[in-house]
């Protein structure tokens, strides 16, 4: 089966071609430079960029794979979760293409895609579930943080999730409070690698409770108050790196502890 798959859930336009699970092409158009001016993703701008970029990206993917639209057997697209306007662009293009070619359309929940991505590998890239084992998976993706029990391929249930901010949101919002350039999460991670995570004992929300849920809004608030109460911390290179390391250590400890407990 030859499948064309479209992903437009946030700020990257991506199109992939797969034949029987083997990745023939995977093209991506990033919007980082567009959103950098605003310090975060602007949903309306993201949707417009998807409209502008999707067909060129699709043509590039088809060319890279060496196939024509008429050879496709099915069309897939992310149906959620994500930015509503951005998702709508990919869905409508995929559905229109499927209708025009009289081919099946498949809407994909992109958390499910995350769950099975570890089984994509090799050269060329391909999906193989031959070595699949039941597992507990931790999904840390943008605005989502959740633990999922995967009993078998396409058989899974959520064990818990965030009750407020996700881990990725906490990274990004803390980075913005610190004044790091967009995208802030990777920059915070880079600085944290040069700092001492034990220098600051930020709160570890829900670390000790028995649930599989997460909460990171309190940590973000703690970072805000720490910066307010410690003038000059952002101008001192080592103190700044230690601050970043402390934030990252708090987030990661909660993620690891909850996953092991599950």
Mean pLDDT of 9-36: 94
Query: Which of 8-12, 24-28, 204-208, 244-248 shows the lowest mean pLDDT across its residues?
Result: 204-208
- Whose CA is closest to 134, among 156, 160, 110, 108? 156
Q: What angle do CA 26, 171, 5 make, to 5 degrees?
A: 20
Q: Measured on CA atoms in the order 130, 132, 133, 134, is the torsion positive or negative?
A: negative
Q: What domains does the chain contain, in order, with CATH numbers?
A: 2-127 (3.30.420.40), 167-261 (3.30.420.40)
The pLDDT tens digits for 158-207 are 999 999 999 999 999 999 999 999 889 899 999 999 999 998 899 998 98
Distance CA 124, CA 107 (A): 25
User: Above 90 in pLDDT, residue 22?
Assistant: yes
Q: How confident is the model at residue 258, as a pLDDT?
A: 95
The pLDDT tens digits for 104-147 are 999 999 888 899 888 888 888 888 888 889 999 999 987 889 99
pTM of the complete model beyond 0.75: yes
Distance CA 34, CA 39 (A): 10
């Amino acid at each position: 089966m030859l499948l064309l798959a479209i992903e437009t859930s946030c700020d990257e336009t991506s199109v992939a071609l797969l034949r029987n699970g083997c990745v023939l092409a995977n093209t991506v158009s990033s919007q980082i430079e567009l959103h950098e001016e605003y310090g975060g993703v602007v949903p309306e701008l993201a949707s417009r960029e998807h409209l502008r970029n999707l067909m060129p990206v699709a043509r590039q993917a088809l060319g890279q794979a060496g196939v024509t639209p008429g050879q496709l057997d099915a069309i897939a697209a992310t149906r959620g979760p994500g930015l509503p306007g951005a998702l709508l662009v990919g869905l409508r293009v995929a559905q229109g293409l499927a209708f025009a070619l009289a081919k099946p359309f498949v809407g994909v929940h992109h958390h499910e895609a995350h769950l099975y991505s570890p089984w994509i590998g090799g050269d060329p890239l391909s999906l193989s579930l031959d070595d699949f084992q039941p597992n507990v998976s931790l999904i840390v993706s943008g605005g989502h943080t959740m633990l999922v029990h995967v009993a078998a391929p396409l058989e899974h249930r959520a064990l818990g999730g965030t009750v407020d901010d996700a881990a990725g949101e906490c990274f990004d919002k803390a980075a913005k409070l610190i004044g790091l350039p967009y995208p802030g999460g990777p920059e915070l991670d880079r600085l944290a690698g040069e700092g001492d995570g034990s220098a600051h004992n930020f709160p570890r929300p829900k670390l000790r409770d028995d649930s599989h849920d997460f909460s990171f809004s309190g940590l973000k608030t703690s970072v805000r108050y720490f910066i307010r109460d410690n003038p000059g911390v952002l101008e001192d290179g080592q103190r700044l790196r230690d601050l970043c390391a402390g934030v990252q250590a708090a987030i990661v400890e909660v993620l690891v502890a909850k996953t092991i407990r599950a």
